[in-house]
Structure 1
Amino acid sequence: MAGVTDAPFRALCRSFGAGLTVAEMLTSDQSLWHTNKSRLRLPHADEPEPRMIQIAGGDPQMLADAARANVAMGAQIIDINMGCPAKKVLKKAAGSALLRDEKLVAEILAAVVQAVEVPVTLKIRTGWSANCKNAVTIGRIAEQEGIQALTIHGRTREDKFSGQAEYDTLAEVRQALNIPVIANGDIDSPQKAKQVLDYTGAAAVMIGRAAQGRPWIFRQIDHWLAQQQELPDLTPLELHQVISKHLQGLYATYGEFMGIRVARKHFGWYLNQADMKEWRTRFNAIETATGQQQLLNRIFLQEAEQHARTA
Structure 2
Amino acid sequence: MRSIGRHTLRNNLFVAPMAGVTDRPFRQLCKSLGAGYAVSEMVASNAQLWKSEKTMRRANHAGEVEPIAVQIAGADPAMMAEAARYNVDNGAQIIDINMGCPAKKVCNVAAGSALLQNEGLVRQIVEAVVGAVGTGPDAVPVTLKIRTGWNPENRNALTIARIAQEAGISMLTVHGRTRADLYHGAAEYATIAAVKRAVSIPVVANGDITSPQKAKYVLEQTGADALMIGRAAQGRPWLFREIEHFLAHGELLPPPRIDEIREVMNHHLEDHYAFYGEFTGVRTARKHIGWYTRGLSGAQGFRHRMNTLDSTREQLAAVNAFFDEQAEFSDRLVYVDDGDGNDDSDGGPDHLDRLAA
Query: TM-score with structure 1 length normalisation?
Result: 0.97
Question: 1:224 maps to what in 2?
Answer: 246
Which aligned pairs between 1:137-156 and structure 2 lie closer than 5 A?
Answer: 137-156=159-178
Question: 1:282 maps to what in 2?
Answer: 305
Question: 1:52 maps to what in 2?
Answer: 69
Q: Deviations over 1:84-111 (max 9, x none)?
A: 0001110110000000111110010000
2:231 to 209, 216, 241: 209
State the 1:211 CA deviation. Answer: 0.3
Q: Deviations over 1:233-266 (max 9, x none)?
A: 2111011111111110111010010000011110
| SS state at 1:71 partner | helix
State the 1:35 CA deviation. Answer: 2.1
Shifted more, 124-133 versus 42-51: the winner is: 42-51
Shifted more, 69-78 versus 232-241: the winner is: 232-241
- Letter of the 2:199 counterpart: L
| SS state at 1:92 partner | coil
Question: 2:55 maps to what in 1?
Answer: 38
Residue segments in structure 2 that go unaligned for 5+ positions in a row: 1-17, 134-138, 332-357
Q: Say yes or no: does 1:291 pair with 2:308.
A: no
Question: 1:200 maps to what in 2?
Answer: 222
Q: 1:131, 1:150 → 2: CA distance?
A: 22
Q: Say yes or no: does 1:66 pair with 2:83.
A: yes
2:107 to 78, 83, 90: 90
Return the structure number with greater helix share.
1
Which aligned pairs between 1:75-114 and structure 2 lie closer than 5 A?
Answer: 75-114=92-131
Q: Aligned-pair RMSD on alpha carbons? A: 1.1
Query: TM-score with structure 2 length normalisation?
Result: 0.84
| SS state at 1:5 partner | coil
State the 1:282 CA deviation. Answer: 1.4
Residues 126 and 152 in structure 1, CA contact (< 8 A), matched pair in contact too: yes
| SS state at 2:41 partner | coil
| SS state at 1:55 partner | strand
Which aligned pairs between 1:14-25 and structure 2 lie closer than 5 A?
Answer: 14-25=31-42
Aligned length: 308
Residue segments in structure 1 that go unaligned for 5+ positions in a row: none
| SS state at 1:23 partner | strand
**Runs of 4+ off more than 6 Å:** none
State the 1:301 CA deviation. Answer: 2.2
Residues 28 and 55 in structure 1, CA contact (< 8 A), matched pair in contact too: yes
State the 1:10 CA deviation. Answer: 0.5
Q: 1:151, 1:304 → 2: CA distance?
A: 40
2:213 to 179, 182, 191: 191
- Letter of the 1:128 counterpart: W
Q: 1:233, 1:147 → 2: CA distance?
A: 38
Between the aligned residues of both structures, percent identity stands at 57
Q: 2:245, 2:40 → 1: CA distance?
A: 25
State the 1:20 CA deviation. Answer: 0.2
Q: Say yes or no: does 1:118 pair with 2:140.
A: yes
Q: 2:65, 2:230 → 1: CA distance?
A: 20
Residues 45 and 75 in structure 1, CA contact (< 8 A), matched pair in contact too: no
